[in-house]
Every structure is written in C-alpha cells, then in structure tokens.
Amino acid sequence: MSKNIIMQVLTSVGYEPMYPFNPRQILNGTYLSTSTNTQYNITITGIPVPLTNSFGNDMGIISFFPGVNNMDNITLSINGDTARPILMADGTTVRANTLIAGRNVLLRYYNNNFYLILDKNQIGLGNVENISPADMPVSTAVTTALEGKLNTPILVPRNANLNTYTTPGLYYNGSTTDATTITNTPAQVPFSLLIEQHSGVKQTFTNYSTSGIQTWVRNYSNNSWGSWAQQAFILSGTTTPDPTIGMNGNIYLKINS
C-alpha cells in the first residue's frame, strides 16, 4: 500500500507540515501580464477559487517564472483569488529583489500564506555546485597558473639567437636542419637548453647524440656573455674505455682491479 510522505519542519509552535512528496507534484503556474512588482498574478489549472486551507495545505509545490523583480511585501494571486503574502520559510517578509525576473520561483501554500522555497539562484549561488571539496574541479585560472609552473620545454625555432634567451626555464630544438641555423651555440646540433638565474643567468647546453653526451655552460652578467666551456664527463671501466661510448672533451679512466 502506498503512503503519502509528509515533510515537516520544527517551528516555535511545534511541527508544521511542509508539503507532500508523493503523490503530489509540481504545479506549474502561468505568469500573467497583469502582475506588478508588488503582486504576482498566475493561473494554475485545477486550483479552486476561493483557495481554502483544506485544499491549499495539501497542494504540491507551486512553480512559476516572474516577469519583474519583487518589491517588499510581495503577494501572489492564483486564478484571480485573493492575493496572499509570499513569505520566507521562517515567516519573515520577502525583501525586495529576492525574486528575480526570469528565475524560477518555488512556493508552498500553508494557512493563507505562500512560503518561499529558495533555490541557489535566488540567494546568489547560481554558480555553486553541491560537491565535496575533494571532488571540486580546478578552475581555468588555477589550471593556467599551474601549467605556467610546469617544466615544459619551449621550442627554440630556426634562425634564433641564443644570446637573446635569458628567461629561466627549459628549451630545446630537435631538428638537425633547424639547429644549423641557430646562432651562438657551442655546436650546431639538436640540443636541450637549461637557463638558470643567478646575478645574471647561466645557460647549460647539451647536445643530442646516440653515441655519447656533450654539455657546455656559459654565464651572462652585466649585459655580456661569457664563452662556452665544455663540461667533462668521467667514464670509467676495468678495461680500456671504448671511445664510442663517449664524445670529445670527456675523460676516460681505466680502473685497475
């Protein structure tokens, strides 16, 4: 057997029924052009005139879209019946501009008054979602800021001049053809470039090679670049080192066992 479930709210005089959820329904009202900012006039099929408490207290939720913002002490008339006050859920007067033109208004009727059921738009929270903090998405602004903090390499294009690169970060060029057009490099080969901040900046240039590695560094200070200096990598083993595992400028050590 189905039952009507009645929602009740505790007030200073006891429990007050709000509205039946089942089998009651949303009663969609048609907003009339005769409405003003102090009295909304709507029509709803099936609601009798005059509206009595015995009928009204058992109605579903009244829904309509006003055409104008309300003034203080707004009232509502349904089907030409006596206009009754629209009140907040606690019985206080609805303040001006609480009900916004074009935004859905939800009401319940109880004992000759209409009580406002606020939704998030009516209290200025239209952009707020009811989700837990852990599930909140990252805003576009925060995403952009975080992406700016990531060590994402920036392409050094063909015909570039490394003397103009003084902003700290990671850079690269992966094209043999393009690399030959880039000036002020220690070698015209594909490379990665690290720029670090000190009193000026430091550039660390590492070439691309499948047979070994070469790295150069230089400093920039007082509007002047120093010369590139190759860093030596130490390669060692118990046998004579094979030159194919390194490149010119590195140090090879044979360790006697």
Task: Decide if pLDDT at 4 tops 50.
Answer: no
Query: Is the pLDDT higher at 19 or at 43?
Result: 43
Six-digit token pair at 168? 């700290």
Residue 153: name the closest of 139, 132, 168 by CA.
168
Domain boundaries, the chain: 6-123, 151-254
Tell me the whole-structure pTM to 2 decimals. Answer: 0.44
Q: Which amino acid is at 36?
A: T
Six-digit token pair at 52? 């009595």
Question: What pLDDT score does 173 carry?
Answer: 96
Question: What pLDDT score does 20 carry?
Answer: 39
Cβ–Cβ < 8 Å for 225, 218: yes
Q: How confident is the model at residue 24 (pLDDT cuts 50, 70, 90)?
A: low
Q: How confident is the model at residue 228 (pLDDT cuts 50, 70, 90)?
A: very high
What's the rounded Cα separation, in Å, for the pair 171 and 195?
Answer: 8
Six-digit token pair at 191? 């490379």
Task: Decide if pLDDT at 12 tops 50.
Answer: no
Core vs surface per residue 8-37: b (16+ CB within 10 A) or e: eeeeeeeebebbbeeeeeebebebeeebeb
Least confident of 19-23, 45-49, 58-62: 19-23
Least confident of 39-43, 158-162, 180-184, 238-242: 238-242
